[in-house]
Amino acid sequence: GKFQSQIVRLYQILSSYEEHEKRQKEQLEESISDLVHQINTPIANLQLYSSLLEQEEITCEERKVFSKNIRDQADKLEWLGENFSKISRLEHGMICLRPSIGKLLPVVLAAVDEVALKAKGREQEIRLLGDQCLEAWFDPKWTEEVFINILENGVKYSPKGSVIHLSMECYETYGAVQIRDEGPGISKDEYSKIFQKFYRGSKTKEQEGWGIGLYLSRLVLEREQGYIKVESEEGK
């Protein structure tokens, strides 16, 4: 009976291992499929502009424009590759976050500095309010990236001359960083969708983007035992 129970236990372990391997394989295949789908457009654009450059009758000005477009598409591919790599490694546990108790202000200020030039180019102002001594349990490097992603969304989707409010609040059981912009708003039926990989809101189709930033932000915060949520309505 003891031998039989050990055999059953071994069988369960092997079955569990096989199921885990199967899930990992399916996730890898899905990730590859997603990546291929996302890179098809910039690759097609690279091919188009390259063929245009080969035409002898184009002017010097047109050549400069086509060359710039090729660089832009190459930059997009590089950005996508880097961020997709981060997502994949986080999903499969290949990146280990190192959270600890610390002040959030230096991380928030670093993120603001990162997007300040883009905000200035759109004549936008970023205002910082609230408890600047707020402490939390987080990984500074990855949490800074979270704030950069969300602030960049605020800059990108808000009108020129608008204000982005960033406040830090300390509650009884947790600390919160709240970012409020003047963008087009999000309907309630999209609240959960915008944090999915490659999903783009219905009001953002005209702006360039990949639908990666909020998904990556959610992954990071969940691994810090935190969370991210949205409160909005269309037109506000």
Q: What is the pLDDT of residues 15-56, one digit of tens each?
A: 777 776 777 676 666 666 666 766 777 888 888 888 888 888
114 contact partners, CB below 8 Å, separation of at least 6: 144, 148, 151
Reference 228, options 153, 156, 162; nearest CA is 153
Global pTM exceeds 0.85: no
Which tokens go with 216?
A: 């990556």
pLDDT (0 to 100) of residue 210: 62
Average confidence (pLDDT) over 165-191:
90
Q: Which residues contact 201 (CB under 8 A, 6 or more apart)?
A: 186, 190, 193, 194
Report pLDDT for 29. Answer: 67
C-alpha 220/C-alpha 235 separation (Å) is 29
Give the model's pLDDT for residue 165: 95
Could you tell me the CA-to-CA distances from 231 to 152, 173, 178, 192 in Å, in that order?
A: 18, 20, 10, 11
Mean pLDDT, the chain, whole residue set: 84
Nearest partner of 111 among 144, 141, 135, 134, judged by Cα:
144
Alpha-carbon span 144 to 112, nearest angstrom:
9
* Mean pLDDT within 139-156: 91
pLDDT in tens, 68-121: 888 888 887 887 777 777 877 777 777 788 899 999 999 999 999 989 999 999
- Percent of the chain topping pLDDT 90: 33
CA separation (Å) from 152 to 16, 38, 71, 93, 219?
42, 20, 21, 26, 18
Beta strands per DSSP E along the chain = 100-103, 125-130, 135-138, 163-170, 175-180
Going by their DSSP bridges, the two strands 163-170 and 125-130 should be labelled as parallel
Confidence of residue 202 (pLDDT cuts 50, 70, 90): low
For residues 102 and 3, the model is more confident at 102
Most confident of 75-84, 170-179, 210-219: 170-179
- The whole-number pLDDT of residue 140 equals 92
Q: What gap in Å lies between CA 115 and CA 149, rounded to an integer?
A: 9
Residues 169/178, Cβ–Cβ less than 8 Å: yes
**What is the band of 135 on the pLDDT scale with cuts at 50, 70, 90?**
very high
Confidence class for position 207, pLDDT limits 50, 70, 90: low
CA distance 168 to 179: 9
200 DSSP assignment: -
Stretch 198-221: mean pLDDT, rounded? 74
Task: Give the separation between CA 40 and CA 30, rounded to whole angstroms.
Answer: 16
Q: What's residue 192's pLDDT?
A: 83
- The Cα 132–Cα 177 span in angstroms is 11
Taken as a whole, the chain contains a residue count of 236
**pLDDT at residue 3, as a whole number:** 79
pLDDT of 185 above 90: no
Could you tell me which residue, 14 or 23, shows the higher pLDDT?
14
Question: What DSSP line would sit under 26-39, residue for residue?
Answer: HHHHHHHHHHHHHH
Percent of the chain at pLDDT above 70? 89
Beta-sheet pairing, 175-180 with 163-170: antiparallel
Average pLDDT over residues 141-164: 92
